[in-house]
A = this chain, B = another copy of it.
Amino acid sequence: MSDGDRTRTSYHHGALRRALLDGARDLLAERGAAAFSLSELARRVGVSTAAPYRHFTDKDALLDALAEEGYMAFHAGLEAAARAAAGPGDRIVRLGVVYLRFAEETPALFEIMFRDRPGRPSGPATFELLVTAVGQAQDAGALRSGQPPVVLARTIWALLHGLAILVGQGGFGKLGIDEPRERLVAESMAAFLRVRPEV
């Protein structure tokens, strides 16, 4: 058999690093970021509690690696949405929807990604994507102009981030707010949009 299998051939696992990251994603989703335990992860994957330290210096290092993968998926999702958009105005809304959906579907991963860890490299690339989309939408007259793309993009980013968090952790549910994502995004960005997309 090939040694990428889940059943360790014997003493050595063969692909422990990958198995740990995959298992961590699941465990994180089940338990939440706060209750995530490295010991439990090791138990699940079927190795000793010391084994992960051969691949990650730290619990935080593992979480950082997971966040990094999350960033890639996030970025890819945004890029796909940008490509699939009908036009510059539609693109902005679609990016927002993807942003919200990501935070909603994998809240714990989202939390890990944006937690305060010094030296996190990613982010700027994704921000650039938004800046570009904003610039295009401004040129096309679909988005409010008068501010440089960077400023407007930063505002939209903050708005989406706030929405993501408040929606994601039910902060809005208590306020009696509950509507489909597209509508929520479009309504929230109404002040920026020149043409209202059909919702």
Q: Which residues of A contact B (CB under 8 A)?
A: 32, 107, 114-116, 118, 123-124, 127, 144, 146-147, 151, 154-155, 157-163, 165-166, 168-172, 174-175, 177, 187-188, 190-192
Contacts and interface: CB of A to CB of B under 8 A. Distances in A.
Contact of A187 (B147, B170, B171, B172): B147
A47 B162 CA distance: 40
B157 A190 contact: no
B124 A174 contact: yes
A161 B170 contact: no
A177 B152 CA distance: 12
A63 B77 CA distance: 36
13 contacts: A107-B116, A123-B171, A123-B174, A144-B191, A147-B187, A154-B172, A154-B175, A154-B177, A158-B163, A158-B166, A159-B159, A161-B161, A162-B162
Contacts of A175: 123-124, 127, 154
Copies of this chain present in the complex amount to 2
Contacts of A177: 154
A69 B148 CA distance: 40
A198 B160 CA distance: 27
A62 to B, nearest CB: 15
Contacts of A166: 157-158, 161
B190 A147 contact: yes
Contacts of A190: 146-147
Contact of A165 (B114, B123, B124): B114
B157 A158 contact: no
A52 B95 CA distance: 47
A162 B158 contact: yes
Nearest to A188: B155
Contacts of A127: 175
Contacts of A144: 191
B170 A116 contact: yes
